Structure 1
Amino acid sequence: MKVRIEQLNPIIGDLKGNTSLILDALKLAERAGIDLLILPEMVVTGYPAQDLLESEAFRDSCYRANDEIISASAKTAVLFGSVTPKKEGFGRKMYNSALLAKEGEMIGMTHKALLPTYDIFDDLRYFEPNKSFKCLNLDGVKLGVTICEDIWYNENEVQYHTYEVDPAAELKKAGADVIINISASPYTNTKHQNRVSMLKNHARKLDLPVFYANQVGAHTDIIFDGDSMVINRNTDIVTNTRIFHPSFTDIEWNPDSGKVTGLTELQIYPSSKQERQFEAVRCGLRDYIDKLNITENVVLGLSGGVDSALVCALAVETLGADRVKAITLPGQFSSKGSVTDSRLLADNLGVELFELSIEPLFEEFRNTLAPLFKGESFGVAEENVQSRIRGSLLMAYSNKFGNFLLPTGNKSEYAVGYATLYGDMNGALAIIGDLYKTEVYDLCKWLNSSYYKKEVIPDSILVKPPSAELRPDQKDTDSLPDYEVLDDILYRYIELQQSRSEISESGYESELVHKILRMVDMSEFKRYQAAPILKLASKSFGTGRRWPIVQKWK
């Protein structure tokens, strides 16, 4: 049997476009003599479709799209993910389903059993769980079909809860010749290692090959790397797909002997953390721009610092220099390098750079506020006015010329509130908002050493002490510990979800830990109003972290 595992990049809610993607893939598979084409979870709707699923009109359109795909099938059988109606009884109105079609008929269907409700997932909000396990029959071959979480049975990156039933094991008991998983499993920086380990465990435990088809592309802040693959019963990766891009891989499979032979070249998954982050951010920004289809261009503020330098470089490597505009906005407390380093970076990247001084506007603000601020010393309010002037000027350019504004804040700053609402937090998509400051430096160094193989991001930017430059001689370390210390505390609190005492026991002073954790908790109101943040870690600010603003837990 010749099998193709194909990862498609659907657009959420674009039922017509997604159906065309599926039909095109089916036509190509027919021409290639493929016996079975396997496509990802909810490929008809895109995942996660969220509250679009509450619309009856949307669901009915999904069901019609299912029928169109089924009717178009011929000699090549197609297994694809969609939603299907729950027609009777109590419970939710639909299932998250896998449909098997051939020769214009649906010859099998199964539903997702394990419905996750953690991190970015909310399946139980919409879907009725499957409670019985039967193989799908294709020309006498028993396909053990699972859907995403079904195969992550108690082996998740972070185990938020455990499941009693193992769907893959149940399908093995039902006589499955293979375990197939159609998936929409988001990228994180450590997901690949966990994914491979989990799939190999199933192959070893069940003594069956595992075929895995995952969604690729980005939906707002959630990125899918694809990483589809086939693992034989000896736990070898026989073949796989190109990550972060729509692609497919073909195999020859003998159901009787279980032998699987790869027919396409094996792809190498990037071993470097920085390369994975680079590719993920490019995928996220590219799809945000392309799928919204509002504008092709972006703008950002260049401060001469490392964060804006990285955002500029990532934007250029994603969109091209001609689609990126930069503005440097020096003020009273800006260092000389704020402008000169920005110009050097812009020249190296081929980006058009504009310069607008904020000093006259800042003086106007101070004069206007003088009667109210009389007798008060220069402080945070005056610092934030400068940031908000810059934010307003950048938004004015964005509005006038239609460029999306890219904020330049990192995860460390967003965590402790070292960012200004309606100022440097302005923008459409925060592409480095899930990178800690130390990771920002590491990615910049990787770009110079391994991607560009020359000094494109100037060393002068990488060696200068970080500073917001909103008051005389300001340094980040005036109010924060060194970023190596800060980032480790933040990682333990946010990703590992350690308590104050656990973090202190790892070697940090209790008072420092308390201060940092309180800064994180007290800054939640800012993050609620932040631009969407591309998710790169196992726990990220945004969709997957639901923390109350008004709360008293310490």
Structure 2
Amino acid sequence: MTANTVKVAIAQMNSIVGDLAGNARQICDYVSRAAAQSADIVVTPELSLVGYPPEDLLLRSAFYQQTQVALQKLAQDLQQFHNIYVLVGHPLERDAYHYNAISVLLNGAVIHTYLKHALPNDAVFDEKRYFATGDEALVFEVKGTRFGINICEDVWSGDAPQLARAAGAQVLLAPNASPFHVNKSEYRVEVMRKNISSLGMSLVYANLVGGQDELIFDGNSFVLNQQGELCSQLKHCEADLQILDFVNGVPQMGQVLENLPVEAQIYYALVLGVHDYVTKNGFPSVLIGFSGGVDSALTLAIAVDALGADKVRAVMMPSPYTADISWLDSRDMVKRIGVRYDEISINECFAAFNNTLSKEFAGLKEDTTEENIQARIRGTILMAMSNKYGSIVLTTGNKSEMAVGYCTLYGDMAGGFAVIKDVAKTMVYRLCAYRNSIGDIIPERIITRPPSAELRPDQKDQDSLPPYDILDGIMQAYMEENQSRAEIVAAGYSEADVERITRLIKINEYKRRQAPVGIRITHRAFGRDWRYPITSKFRD
């Protein structure tokens, strides 16, 4: 090995927000493993010491104080690894201002600190609420190679990369906390080629992995050479460590993983999201209201893959309108997947509600009121079991239903975590097919039978909604792509369908605000990057 070869390790770690001691232990473990492979530099993700995003923890002075103590202790703990430069992300309080920072730790001391220049303040980001901006480049030399540092948004926008290049950087180290959406990995590489490779620098893009509330960080860290060629890529939705040789600033070829198909990207993001939300919050197990339909079947499969069958319990709650095939398909799937399964009839509860309300509703015909009572009985049963056993209820509603309000407040919306909240109905079918391609666990009839809430005789979803391919197309254009109604009609959808769907999206905002937090897998989900008023008279 020549003197001009530098070994750079990417520590694709899964931080937990606020767990300073646990995150520090993780960093020490990564550095130990990298040291065993003779690494010279270890790059951890953005805010690796405190987790991302800390949100309003960043408004508390104690958070900065404890972070500084943890950083100093980490530096001392790492001094056993001689002459290894470790990049650690953390918030920093300096002169009454707060910054998003990266510190370089070496031999027991903080030798450099870089302050993030570009602060994202759109989509799911609101860093201008918390941080001031830095404006100086940071370049340091290791074995004759000059390394610059940028943080996340710096390499996406602004002039920080140019400043690093002007300061002499040959390789840009870029700790990131870039959340997942479909095809985000390919998009990152494309943008980095435009922004960094065009400047003649190599790039080490070290991304966070893990679930944090509704956000999924997918990892997929990578290295580009000066020509923009992919030299290394880390795992999707898994913690990982990879070390690459840089010879005179030029990265050598390492392991490059193939891009996953869309269905695989989404499925493993959902699995990671469920695993981390449940385990990081300390829930012992999960409960799922299992109807024998496609949404609950997909949710059940994801939960088992995330947690193991022993931590998942499926509860079938038949009503007078539950079809025989729903019983049969439910029993078939739970047998294949090996979870605890119980059947609790709601017939007596439903009859009691109807009897209690009979005088109040005398002379009025049955309508969605009676349908919603059934859903709310089921929600009450699941939440009672959650209280009794400490298990969290995973709700099973999809994005199409959430968009148009085809869901019941305090009924099927009752629960603690909405697994497929950002998954359109058409994608639900694709994900079921993908999961069965790995192992045949979802009975084919669950996938092929017409979807139904089974809250009245012979009910089908399409009695109340347009076909899902039409609904999803309009929803995506209007909600995700921000297109106008005129643009959507021009794309080939009927004016009546567009008017109906966009109206339903608007008037059901009050329902979505009361829904549990759920996993974000598109570039715009109903959640922190959808902020429409409930009370509004505006019509476009």
Residues 77 and 101, structure 1, Cα contact 8 Å, conserved in 2:
yes
- Distance change in 2, residues 1:445/1:31 (3 Å): closer
Match of 1:409 among 391, 397, 414: 397
Question: Quick one: distance in 2 between partners of 1:30 and 1:407?
Answer: 44
- 1:445-502 deviation line (CA, Å, top 9, x unaligned): 1112x211x4x21121112111111112211111110000000000111110111111
Question: Quick one: distance in 1 between partners of 2:304 and 2:523?
Answer: 27
Q: Letter of the aligned partner of 2:448 in structure 1? A: V
State yes or no: 1:33 paired with 2:38: yes
Q: How does 1:24-423 map to 2 (within 5 A)?
A: 24-71=29-76, 72-73=78-79, 74-87=82-95, 93-138=97-142, 141-153=145-157, 165-255=158-248, 258-262=249-253, 264-270=254-260, 272-295=261-284, 297-423=285-411
Residues 197 and 224, structure 2, Cα contact 8 Å, conserved in 1:
no
Residues 109 and 136, structure 1, Cα contact 8 Å, conserved in 2:
no
- Distance change in 2, residues 1:480/1:121 (3 Å): same
- 1:69-124 deviation line (CA, Å, top 9, x unaligned): 23334310111211111215xxxx31001111212222221111111111111111
Residues 202 and 210, structure 1, Cα contact 8 Å, conserved in 2:
no
| 3-state DSSP of counterpart to 1:179 | strand
Shift of 1:274: 0.9
Question: Quick one: distance in 1 between partners of 2:289 and 2:395?
Answer: 8
Q: Letter of the aligned partner of 1:249 in structure 2? A: Q
Q: Letter of the aligned partner of 2:34 in structure 1? A: A
| 3-state DSSP of counterpart to 1:388 | helix
Q: Letter of the aligned partner of 2:7 in structure 1? A: K
| 3-state DSSP of counterpart to 1:536 | coil
- 1:228-286 deviation line (CA, Å, top 9, x unaligned): 1111112221112122111111111123xx32114x5333331x111111110111111
Give the aligned partner of residue 451 of structure 1: 438
State yes or no: 1:539 paired with 2:524: yes
Greater Cα offset, 237-246 or 6-15:
237-246
Shift of 1:304: 1.4
Question: Quick one: distance in 2 between partners of 1:536 and 1:4?
Answer: 28
Residues 407 and 425, structure 1, Cα contact 8 Å, conserved in 2:
yes
Match of 2:8 among 3, 9, 21: 3
Residues 146 and 181, structure 1, Cα contact 8 Å, conserved in 2:
yes
Question: Quick one: distance in 1 between partners of 2:142 and 2:49?
Answer: 22
State yes or no: 1:529 paired with 2:514: yes
Q: How does 1:419-438 map to 2 (within 5 A)?
A: 419-438=407-426
Q: Letter of the aligned partner of 2:433 in structure 1? A: K
Q: Percent of aligned positions with the same letter in both sequences? A: 38
Shift of 1:40: 0.7
Shift of 1:139: 5.7
Match of 1:507 among 492, 495, 515: 492
Question: Quick one: distance in 2 between partners of 1:325 and 1:378?
Answer: 33
Question: Quick one: distance in 2 between partners of 1:439 and 1:2?
Answer: 42
Q: How many residue pairs align between the two structures?
A: 531
Residues 161 and 196, structure 2, Cα contact 8 Å, conserved in 1:
no
| 3-state DSSP of counterpart to 2:283 | coil
- 1:134-189 deviation line (CA, Å, top 9, x unaligned): 42444654322110011112xxxxxxxxxxx3211222122211112110000111
Question: Quick one: distance in 2 between partners of 1:513 and 1:207?
Answer: 48
Greater Cα offset, 413-422 or 338-347:
338-347
Question: Quick one: distance in 1 between partners of 2:93 and 2:142?
Answer: 23
Question: Quick one: distance in 2 between partners of 1:184 and 1:240?
Answer: 16
Shift of 1:308: 0.6
| 3-state DSSP of counterpart to 2:476 | helix
- 1:362-419 deviation line (CA, Å, top 9, x unaligned): 1110110111111111011111000000111111122222221111100000110001
Shift of 1:10: 0.8
State yes or no: 1:22 paired with 2:30: no
Give the aligned partner of residue 538 of structure 2: 553
Q: Letter of the aligned partner of 1:371 in structure 2? A: K
Give the aligned partner of residue 161 of structure 1: none
Greater Cα offset, 129-138 or 514-523:
129-138
Give the aligned partner of residue 159 of structure 1: none
Question: Quick one: distance in 1 between partners of 2:368 and 2:196?
Answer: 58
Question: Quick one: distance in 2 between partners of 1:102 and 1:141?
Answer: 17
| 3-state DSSP of counterpart to 2:245 | strand
Greater Cα offset, 319-328 or 403-412:
319-328
Moved beyond 3 Å, runs of 4+: 136-141
Question: Quick one: distance in 1 between partners of 2:268 and 2:342?
Answer: 28
Greater Cα offset, 415-424 or 125-134:
125-134
Question: Quick one: distance in 2 between partners of 1:534 and 1:396?
Answer: 24
Give the aligned partner of residue 3 of structure 2: none
Q: Letter of the aligned partner of 2:71 in structure 1? A: N
